[in-house]
A = this chain, B = another copy of it.
Amino acid sequence: MISRILAADLPAHAGRRVRLAGWLHRRRDLKSVSFLVLRDRSGLAQIVLREPLPEAAEETVLAVTGTVVLNDQAPGGAEVTDPEVEVLSAPVAPPPFDLYRPVVGGTLPTILDHAPAALRHPRLRAPFEIAAAAVAGFRAALDGLGFVETSTPKIVASATESGANVFGIDYFGRPAFLAQSPQFFKQALVGVFERVYEVGPVFRAEPHDTARHLAQYTSLDAELGFVEDHRDVMAVLTAALTGMHASVAERAGSATALLELDVPEVPGEIPSIHFAEAQELVARHTGEDPRGEPDLAPAHERFLGEWARREHGSEFLFVTGYPMVKRPFYTHPDPERPEFSRSFDLLFRGLELVTGGQRLHRHADYLAALAARGEDPEAYGGYLAAFAHGMPPHGGFAIGLERWTARFTGAANVRQTTLFPRDLHRLTP
């Protein structure tokens, strides 16, 4: 038996006998000829049959052996003639939408209910090819900077990020929780590897039914030691994003072409503005005065995104120095203006995409920070222990992969860029 080739490779085999395998994407039976369109992971191939193929519904799995003929009219510029067709596996039911149409009909809930079938559609599959390429680029960038990849526990004894919104587990009869982030572990591991990253699931029991909340998402977490301040973290994030975009351009070209996406350039140095200046800019230009507010409103983030594009030609903008009151207890303050932090948000097209910053590193500073917030240090015993033995100045960031992919592809709902999303209402498939 000849080895299988992929649809995209047909033109290189013109004149030869080849074997294809894939799904029957579409069939058209004319009087004296039938056209089958076969779909495989590389794309589509047209098969020309002199006699109709009996009883093969769309999504039938086929192997086809035939002769490659160049034809400008065929998808990809070549087609297969004189085929022998073998049915490998027949569907028992049609999907509730036509996969051969340019856009899948049906509501988002229907599509998500039938995700194993819906994701076969090239347009619905494309975001995940882009996401996989982006993750590969993230890793390559951080590997090149001496980071070590880790896998840390997703079952924890206590919630570190915020007491609410955690999923409870019965852990051999004891209460436990699903980790909301690898924050504690990645900080502790700065003491071991200095530079670590993790690509893994995080869990948020957020009772929000919105287009951007998920109960599980994939977090690209990084943390590094021996920083001067948050700007060293921003430089690593810039390198990570540069790697992600480069990898998408290199590895997911057919997905970006199908979705008609430009891969935006990541500036060598992403423009940056302090939170206080950002508020002044908003006050000066929008007629609203947010000064004194501890956070930026979505409309103000959008304004800043437009400002960055206009003034700096950048789709990205760092906003630094968010007020301490809105940041987690482990955030490092700005020593010169202690009400502000050494933290940042990265806006992409006017939407918050990444949060990060420098963390506290001295044991005494953690005790003071918890006391100032009226928190009991006892509840953070395990967390604090890691800082008892000498930790360098450090910081890090986390990118939500599904949100990144939604922003990058222009998807309106983060569920369109999540494989089998989990939310307030959805637990299957």
Q: Mark A residues whose CB is within 8 Å of B.
A: 4, 21, 23-24, 40-41, 59-61, 88-95, 114-117, 119-120, 125, 128-129, 132, 135-136, 139, 143, 146, 148-157, 167-172, 174, 176, 178, 185, 188-189, 191-195, 199-201, 203, 205, 207, 215-216, 218, 226, 361-364, 382, 385-386, 388-393, 401, 419-420, 422, 424, 427-429
Contact = CB atoms under 8 A, between A and B. Distances in A.
A203 B154 CA distance: 9
B119 A192 contact: yes
A393 B63 CA distance: 11
A143 B129 CA distance: 12
Nearest to A94: B389
Contacts of A207: 172
**8 closest A-B pairs (Cβ-Cβ)?**
A116-B386, A116-B188, A59-B390, A91-B390, A41-B194, A151-B218, A119-B192, A382-B429
12 contacts: A21-B392, A88-B392, A116-B386, A119-B191, A120-B192, A132-B148, A132-B149, A151-B218, A153-B422, A169-B178, A172-B215, A189-B419
Contacts of A401: 151
Contacts of A216: 153-155
A4 B120 CA distance: 50
A23 to B, nearest CB: 6
A390 B119 contact: no
Contacts of A420: 152-153, 185
Contacts of A135: 149
A169 to B, nearest CB: 5
A88 B91 CA distance: 65
Nearest to A90: B390
Given A95-B389, A427-B174, A128 B148 contact: yes
Contact of A150 (B132, B155, B178, B429): B132
A361 to B, nearest CB: 6
Nearest to A175: B427
Given A143-B136, A188-B429, A172 B419 contact: no
Contacts of A136: 139, 143, 149
A351 to B, nearest CB: 21
Contact of A116 (B150, B155, B385): B385
Given A92-B364, A185-B420, A200-B200, 18 more contacts: A23-B390, A41-B193, A59-B390, A90-B390, A94-B389, A95-B389, A116-B389, A117-B191, A119-B191, A125-B192, A136-B149, A154-B201, A155-B178, A156-B427, A167-B169, A168-B170, A172-B205, A386-B429
